[in-house]
Amino acid sequence: MQRIVVGTAGHVDHGKTLLVKALTGVDTDRLKEEKERGISIELGFAPLKLPDGRQLGLVDVPGHERFIRQMLAGVAGIDLVLLVVAADEGVMPQTREHLAIIDLLQIKRGILVITKIDLVEPAWLDLVEEEVKELVRGTTLEGAPVVRVSAVTGEGLEELKEVLARITLEIPPRPSSGRIRLPVDRVFSLPGFGTIVTGTLWSGTIEVGMEVEVQPEARKGRARSLQVHGRSVSRAEAGQRVAVNLAGIEVQHVRRGSVLVEPGLWQPAVRLDVNIKLLPGARLKNRERVRFYLGTKEAFGRAVLLDREELEGGGEALGQLVLEEPVVAAPRDRFILRTYSPLMTIGGGEVIAVNTPRHRRYDEKVLETLKRRLTGSPPELFLDLIRESKEGLELKKACSQAGLAVEEARDILKEEASRGEFIILPAGEGEEYVLTREGVDQFWERVHPLLKDFHRRYPLRPGLPKEELRSRIFSRLDWRAFQGILELWSKEGKIRLEGNAVALGSHRPGMDEEQEKVARILLERYRAGWFQPPLPEEAAQGLDLAPEELEEILHFLVRQGSLVKVAEKLYFHREAFRAAQEEIRRLGREGLFTLGAVRDALKSSRKYVLPLLEYMDQIKFTRRIGDKRTVVEGPS
C-alpha cells in the first residue's frame, strides 16, 4: 500500500489550516493560543482520503515568520507540498521563504494552490496565478499544476483531490527495509500510557514490542503500541505518520529533534562533510555561526568553508559543519541553514558523510574526495570511506557515515571478498572492524623493522610488549581491532604472540655461548646466597657485564624459571624459593606465624624476609592477618 505524506507551505493567514479542514474535516489548530490568535503555531496532522480510496497523511505547518523552525519540522520527510497562496494578497515574504526551503530540501513534487478565490475577481485571479508561476520558475516546483480553491464555498476542492491522486501515484515508495529512522516532531504523555512521540517514519519498519532507541540522547526502550492516523496497528512502515507509545523512556528524555532509531545502528555526529548552497543575496563567511536544521532538529554550529574565505549568494561550496550538539544524519540528507541572529534563511545543502575527521582547508586531495563522494551512491561511499581510512573503520561506524544498513554492507563486502581488498576483523562484543589489505600491509611495513630492531637490541626478551607496540604504531586504532590484526598476522606466521609480547615469527629468544657461561655463574652465586641472595651488581662482580646486559640475562633467567624475582633488585634461586615455601608451609601447619618466626626459620634477616613474604602474599601463597600470616596454598 502506498504511504504518502503531504505538507502545506505558505505565508501566514493564507488559508492553509482552513484548506486542510475543508479537505479532511479535521481542524489542526488544537492549541488555545492558535484559536485565539487565528494562526497556526504548532504542527497539525490529519488523514486525507482520496477519491480512489487511498489515504494520505497531511501536515499543516505554521506560516508566520516566527515559526519557521516549526515549519521546517513539518516539511521534514514530506513527499509532496501544497504551496498555498491567498488570491487576495498574492505572493508574500513567507511564500518566498517557504519556497526557498522547499527548493533547498529538493522536494520535487508539489501543487500550487491559490486559495480564497471567492474574495477576488477572475481577472485578478489570473494575475495571481501568473505571479505564482513566475515565482517557482527555476525551482523544484517549476511546472507544478495550479489549482484554484475556496475552502468557504468548496470550489476547486474535488479538483485538488483529483490532482493529488494523480501526482501521488507517481511517487516511488519509501524503503520499508533498512534502518529505522523517525524524526520526532511531537512529544507528550498520557495517563496510563506514558511517553508518546509522533513523526514521519523516514525509513524502516517499526513493530509493536520492538526495541528502539532515542538518539542523540541514547535512551533505549520498547515500542509498546503504534498508531497511524489514530488507528492502532501492529506495524508501521516508512512513509507513514506514526505515533509510538514508548515503554522504558521518560517524557523528559525525548524532545522535538530527537530521532527514534534501531539500537546500535546510528551514531550521532557533531561534524558533517557537506555541500552548501546559498540563496541569492545571502552571504556566508568561513567559521560563521549558523543555525542548522535537519529533519525536526535545530542545532547551532559553525560552517567551515574548505576552499574559500567567504561564499557569495547563489553559490555553492564544499565544507564541514561543526555542530555544538550531536545530530542523527546520513549522506544525501538535505538541510537548511539560517543565520544565528537575526533569524534569516540563507541556504542549505546536502550531507556528504558524517562523523568524519577534521579536514585541512585548501587541500586539493580533500576537495577531490568530497566531490567524488557527493555524486557517489551509499555503497560506493561506504567502500570509499574504508579505502580512505588509513587505519580502518568499525563496520557500524562506516555504515553510519555512508548511510548504509549493516547487512547491506556485509553483502557488499562478501562480493568484494574475492578480490582480497578488504579484511573484516572481529572486534569483540559482536563488533567488526574493516580495513583494506593495503592498509594492513602498510601497518606491517612499520611493525616489521620495529620488531627486528627490538630483537637485535634485546635478543633474550620474548618480544615487544603489546601496549608499547600499540602506542607507537596503532595509537588511533581501537584496541579490539589491534588485537584482530595481531591474530591475523599470527595465523599468517608473521609474528608470534607470547602472553603480552609480540615477536617476529622467526624470533626465538636464547643466549649465546658466552651468555650461557655467565648465566651459569650467576645462578651458582644466587644458589650459594640461598636465603640471603646477592644484589645483581654483587652477583656480577668480575664478569665484565654492562648493567643493561646483566638486566637482560636476569630477566631471561626469571622467564626461564631459574630465578624468582620477588622485588626490585632482589632475586632468589628457584631452589631457595621453593625451600622457603616449604619452611613457611611447615610454620603454617602450627597456626598463624609472624615475620620474625619466618626470619628465624630461614636463618635470614628482615631485609630479605619482608619482601619475600610480601611476594608470597602477592602470589596468594600466604595471606596477612594483622601482623601475622597464614598459608593459603595459592600458586607456587
Nearest to 320 by CA among 373, 269, 358: 358
DSSP string, 195-208: EEEEEE--BSEEET
Report pLDDT digits (tens) over 362-385.
999 999 999 988 988 888 888 888
pLDDT band at residue 2 under the 50/70/90 scheme: low
pLDDT band at 72 (very low <50, low <70, confident <90, very high): low
Any residues with CB less than 8 A from the CB of 188 and at least 6 apart, and which? 196, 251
**Pairwise CA distance, residues 563 & 565, whole Å:** 6
Mean pLDDT of the chain: 87
- Give residues with Cβ within 8 angstroms of 32, minimum separation 6: none
Check pLDDT > 60 for residue 39: no
Asked if residue 116 has pLDDT above 70, the reply is yes
Give the model's pLDDT for residue 70. 60
Q: With contact defined as beta carbons under 8 Å apart, do 72 and 336 qualify?
A: yes
- Three-class DSSP labels, 75-139: HCCCCEEEEEEECCCCCCHHHHHHHHHHHHCCCCCEEEEEECHHHCCHHHHHHHHHHHHHHHCCC
Q: Are 268 and 326 in contact, with CB atoms under 8 Å apart?
A: yes
- The alpha helices in 512-573, defined as continuous H runs, are 513-529, 536-539, 547-560
Residue 222 is predicted with a pLDDT of: 95
> Considering only CA atoms, which of 595, 612, 616 is closest in space to residue 533?
612
Q: Residue 478: pLDDT above 80?
A: no
What pLDDT score was predicted for residue 177? 72
Cell of 634: 595459592
Q: pLDDT, tens digit, for every residue of 490-528?
A: 999 999 998 889 999 988 887 778 888 988 999 999 999
Q: Is the pTM of this model over 0.75?
A: no
Give the DSSP H or E segment for 611. helix 606-618
Instruction: Choose the weakest-confidence range: 121-125, 172-176, 268-272, 455-459.
Output: 172-176
Q: What is the dihedral of CA 346, 350, 352, 355, to 10 degrees?
A: 60
Instruction: Identify the residue with better confidence: 400 or 40.
Output: 400
pLDDT band at 301 (very low <50, low <70, confident <90, very high): very high
CB 273 within 8 A of CB 320: yes
- Name the residue with cell 552548501: 276
Count the neighbouring beta carbons within 10 Å of the beta carbon of residue 579.
15
State the Cα–Cα distance between residues 632 and 240, nearest whole angstrom.
67
Interval 228-266: pLDDT, tens = 877 889 999 988 888 899 999 999 999 989 999 988 888
How does strand 55-60 pair with strand 5-10?
A: parallel
Q: Domains in the chain, ordered, with CATH?
A: 5-168 (3.40.50.300), 181-261 (2.40.30.10), 269-375 (2.40.30.10), 518-631 (1.10.10.10)
Upper half-sphere CA count for residue 340 (Cβ side, 13 Å): 12
pLDDT in tens, 401-441: 787 878 888 888 888 877 888 888 876 666 788 888 888 99
pLDDT tens digits, one per residue of 565-581: 999 999 999 999 999 99
End-to-end CA distance of the chain: 73
